[in-house]
Amino acid sequence: MPAEPANATAAGPTALAGVPREVGVAKPDPVVVADGVVRRFGGVTAVDVGHVEFQRGAITALIGPNGAGKTTFFNLLSCFDQPQEGTWSFNGEPLRGVVPHQVARRGMVRTFQLTKVLSKLTVIENMRLGATAQRGERFLSSLLKPLWAAQEAEVTARADELLVRFKLDHMREEFAASLSGGQRKLLEMARALMTDPELIMLDEPMAGVNPALKQSLLGHVKALRDEGRSVIFVEHDMDMVFDISDWVVVMAEGRIIAEGPPADVGANPAVIDAYLGTHHDRDLAPDLGGGGTS
Amino acid sequence: MDWGNIVTLTISGCIGPLAVQYVLAAQGLNIHYGYTGLFNFGQAGFMAVGAYGTAIVAQPSQLGGYGGPLWLGVLVGVAAAVLLALLMGLPTLRLRGDYLAIVTIAVSEIIRLVVRSEATDAFAGGNSGINGFAASFYEANPFKNNGRYEWGPFSYLGKDLWIMVLGWTVVGAFALLTFLLMRSPWGRVVRSIRENEDAVRSLGKNVQGYKMQALVLGGVMGAMGGVVLALFQNLALPDDFVTRTTFIAYAALILGGAARVLGPVVGGIIWYGAFAFLTNVVTEAKRAGYFPSGVEDNAAVLPFVFLGIALMLLVVFRPQGIFGDRREVELDAR
């Protein structure tokens, strides 16, 4: 478990109260800091982020119209892709040039927009895979079951708890391929939690999840913050963004154009403008009396 | 046509020394392709380094070899397979799967062409290969080398029986090793890599490292196939290691069922049994004069024609092989 969950409960979000609402603003206790990150694909500049900090112990949403570079930025931060320029760090340690699995081992774990479940493994095996530092995953010690059987039982117990929490326990022995799109999202998130991450990065966790499940998923994400973890997520579902995020970072055309608490960002003309380009029909700030439906 | 003879030869052949080499090669491919999802199309190359390592080291010096002990030769063959896996894996395992396929098929052909070329005649014997290195192996034979041993329909020479006993012992050891590995968390990681390596990476596993371990392990199994073949023939011959050998091993694996411990073992036995049966039928038919005179000389390819058809039918009607789980094969169709 991450350090001092009790103290951290409200520290992350409340610490953001006095932070100015301007792009690139310094946070009181940043967990991830990115500086001058530029990623070009041929002539297209997909990401060009000047400076951005993500607060520890808070839920930060990364929003923006399609093609804004959110997922690319995610890939860069988690080292699944390399930028042409820039530096970024996690817990003060620079991440440039680090291989993806090392990033994950340091406690920064991500999920994918297009889910990557392991189809021919059962749901419980998917979960078990997530556990870190398993003795049985080393070649020689894997040959002797007594060396890893006890740890395997612990891992399974933890996996079963998470499966109950994510309402997947009835699918425990099914192949992951037989899950629906929404269930796959849940499985991927639960599997990422098996690594006990300090920071979890969710790429569109709500896409394809049915409304009933959405509510419980929102609860799970909030619970992660309450356990002291940091969450960064990319999402198009504005209800979710306004409901659970402590801070919103808005991207458009590769750049960060605004950041601030959800209410402020929703009222920001630059943000409305950026979204209007592609989402005329999207209700940006349903909770702000702007003709919202929720 | 002498059907009794055909049946005896088939039954004896299906667990004979030649079947063992395909079983070992297929066991290696099971680790590569079946469990880890690595497309190694150069298993013949691993077999070749196993055979040639043994042959070069153990050939007596008066015949042009190093005159080393046989066990050292086998060890050198296995070490060469490890080295080969590292050499091929380092540049390609970080790339997409097809690159490994291209590199392995090319490397195995390079190995074959190098050992059969005149330039390496001095130590690899050119296209006639290396012979006469297995004398100490047959001296250690507890059976009478030229005695005939019969048991029901099985009938073998003592020298064949000796290589079979050792060969099947190695097969059993590899099957046990595969079983132990694949029931463990290590096996879970490599099977997950087969499914989606980015997902595994995102969970903090060193995907490259696991792929390399799998490539080395399967390569060593293939090399042992080459060792068995070389000892049985007392000859390491370059053209035994053509690409066709790799694909026969793949056929055996798919027939038995990939990602099953006993898949390659049973698949290899049945495949080689079928091959022996068809070859014997064709031979007998030829002797009986059933083929028109123009076709007769080419009749030896007929077993391959029939096996090709059988393989197509297999993939259509039972894609999971004998031991596979049909559900698994059909999952990808979604």
Give the model confidence (pLDDT) of A80-111 as tens digits.
Answer: 999 999 999 999 999 999 999 999 999 999 99
CA B305 to chain centre: 21
Please check whether residue B266 lies inside any domain of the structure.
Answer: no
Arithmetic mean of pLDDT, B57-68: 88
C-alpha torsion angle, residues B60, B62, B63, B66 (rounded to 10): 40
Q: How confident is the model at residue A294 (pLDDT cuts 50, 70, 90)?
A: very low
Residues of chain B in contact with residue A110, where contact means CB-CB under 8 angstroms, are 202
Task: Report how far residue A242's alpha carbon sits from residue A290's, in angstroms, rounded to the nearest whole number.
Answer: 13
Task: Report how far residue B144's alpha carbon sits from residue B126's, in angstroms, rounded to the nearest whole number.
Answer: 33
DSSP bridge pairs for A48:
A38
Q: What does the pLDDT read at residue B207?
A: 95
Q: What are A185-230's pLDDT values in tens digits? A: 899 999 999 999 999 999 998 888 888 888 888 888 999 999 999 9
**Which residue of chain B is at minimal alpha-carbon distance from A140?**
B181
Domain ranges of chain A: 5-117+198-288, 119-178
pLDDT at A5 over 70: no
Please check whether residue B43 lies inside any domain of the structure.
Answer: yes
Q: Higher confidence at residue B67 or residue A8? A: B67
Place of tokens 């691993």: B46
Report CB contact under 8 Å: B205, A148: no
Report CB contact under 8 Å: A116, B199: yes
Q: What does the pLDDT read at residue A293?
A: 40
Please check whether residue B247 lies inside any domain of the structure.
Answer: no
Q: What does the pLDDT read at residue A2?
A: 47
Q: What are B19-47's pLDDT values in tens digits? A: 999 999 999 999 999 999 999 999 999 99
Report CB contact under 8 Å: A112, B203: no
Report CB contact under 8 Å: B185, A152: yes
Report CB contact under 8 Å: A143, B207: no
CA B23 to chain centre: 6
- Whole-number percent of chain B with pLDDT over 90: 65
Task: Report how far residue A231's alpha carbon sits from residue A202's, in angstroms, rounded to the nearest whole number.
Answer: 8
Report CB contact under 8 Å: A120, B202: no
DSSP bridge pairs for B235:
B131
C-alpha torsion angle, residues B211, B217, B219, B223 (rounded to 10): 170
Report CB contact under 8 Å: B204, A177: no
Domain that holds residue B173: 3-241
Report CB contact under 8 Å: B203, A191: yes
Nearest to A27, CA basis, from A56, A60, A65, A5: A56
Please check whether residue B222 lies inside any domain of the structure.
Answer: yes
Place of tokens 């109950």: A164
According to DSSP, the β-strands at A30-41 and A85-90 are antiparallel
Alpha-carbon distances, residue A211 vs A39, A63, A242, A277, B54 (angstroms): 35, 20, 16, 27, 66
Q: What does the pLDDT read at residue A3?
A: 44
CB nearest A134 (choices: B185, B191, B202): B185
Contact B324, B257 (CB under 8 A): yes
**Which residue of chain B is at minimal alpha-carbon distance from A201?**
B202
Report CB contact under 8 Å: A121, B195: yes
Largest CA-CA distance found in chain B, in angstroms, rounded? 66
Residues of chain B in contact with residue A104, where contact means CB-CB under 8 angstroms, are 201-204
- Domain A5-117+198-288: which topology? Rossmann fold (3.40.50)
Pick the range with the lowest mean pLDDT from A8-17, A154-163, A195-204, B50-59: A8-17
Residues of chain B in contact with residue A90, where contact means CB-CB under 8 angstroms, are none
Report CB contact under 8 Å: A177, B334: yes
Mean confidence (pLDDT) of chain A: 86
pLDDT at A47 over 90: yes
Q: DSSP for B153-215, please give it.
A: TEEEEHHHHHHHHHHHHHHHHHHHHHHHHHTSHHHHHHHHHHH-HHHHHHTT--HHHHHHHHH
Alpha-carbon distances, residue A17 vs A4, A25, A226, B126 (angstroms): 21, 13, 17, 80
Q: What does the pLDDT read at residue B325?
A: 77
- Return the residue in A119, A148, A203 with the most chain B beta carbons within 10 A, the one to mutate for interface testing: A119
Q: What are B286-320's pLDDT values in tens digits? A: 888 888 877 777 888 888 888 889 888 888 888 88
pLDDT at A291 over 50: no
For chain B, the domain total comes to 1
What's the complex ipTM? 0.86
Pick the range with the lowest mean pLDDT from A122-126, B115-119, B232-236, B260-264: B115-119
Q: What does the pLDDT read at residue A6?
A: 43
According to DSSP, the β-strands at A93-94 and B235-236 are unpaired
Q: Higher confidence at residue A133 or residue B96? A: A133
CA angle B44, B46, B49 (to 5 degrees): 110
Residues 6+ apart with CB under 8 A from B36: B190, B191, B193, B194, B210, B211, B214, B215, B218
Strands (E) in chain A, as ranges, are: 30-41, 44-55, 59-63, 85-90, 93-94, 108-110, 199-203, 230-234, 247-252, 255-260
Q: Radius of gyration of chain A from Cα atoms?
A: 19
Q: What are A35-46's pLDDT values in tens digits? A: 999 999 988 999
CA B43 to chain centre: 7
Q: How confident is the model at residue A241 (pLDDT cuts 50, 70, 90)?
A: confident
Please check whether residue B65 lies inside any domain of the structure.
Answer: yes
Residues of chain A in contact with residue B203, where contact means CB-CB under 8 angstroms, are 101, 104, 109, 129-130, 132, 191-192, 194-195
Place of tokens 């930028």: A83
- Return the residue in B202, B207, B329, B331 with the most chain A beta carbons within 10 A, the one to mutate for interface testing: B202
pLDDT at B139 over 80: yes
Q: Give the B-side interface with A, CB within 8 Å.
A: 177, 180-181, 183-189, 191-192, 194-196, 198-207, 213, 327-328, 331-332, 334
Classified as helix, coil or strand, A265 is: helix
pLDDT at A290 over 60: no
Contact B200, B193 (CB under 8 A): yes
Contact A152, A163 (CB under 8 A): no
Q: What does the pLDDT read at residue B331?
A: 67
Alpha-carbon distances, residue A189 vs A17, A54, A256, B278, B306 (angstroms): 29, 20, 26, 54, 50
Report CB contact under 8 Å: B202, A138: no
Task: Report how far residue A283's alpha carbon sits from residue A272's, in angstroms, rounded to the nearest whole number.
Answer: 10
**Surface-to-core class of residue B284, CB atoms within 10 Å of its CB (0-12 exposed, 13-18 middle, 19+ buried):** middle
Residues 6+ apart with CB under 8 A from B316: none
**Which residue of chain B is at minimal alpha-carbon distance from A103?**
B204
Q: What does the pLDDT read at residue A113?
A: 87
Nearest to B12, CA basis, from B277, B255, B287: B277
According to DSSP, the β-strands at B235-236 and A44-55 are unpaired
B276's enclosing H/E stretch is helix B263-287
Alpha-carbon distances, residue A7 vs A28, A108, A260 (angstroms): 16, 21, 24
pTM confidence score? 0.90
Residues 6+ apart with CB under 8 A from B268: B19, B20, B22, B23, B26, B249, B252, B256
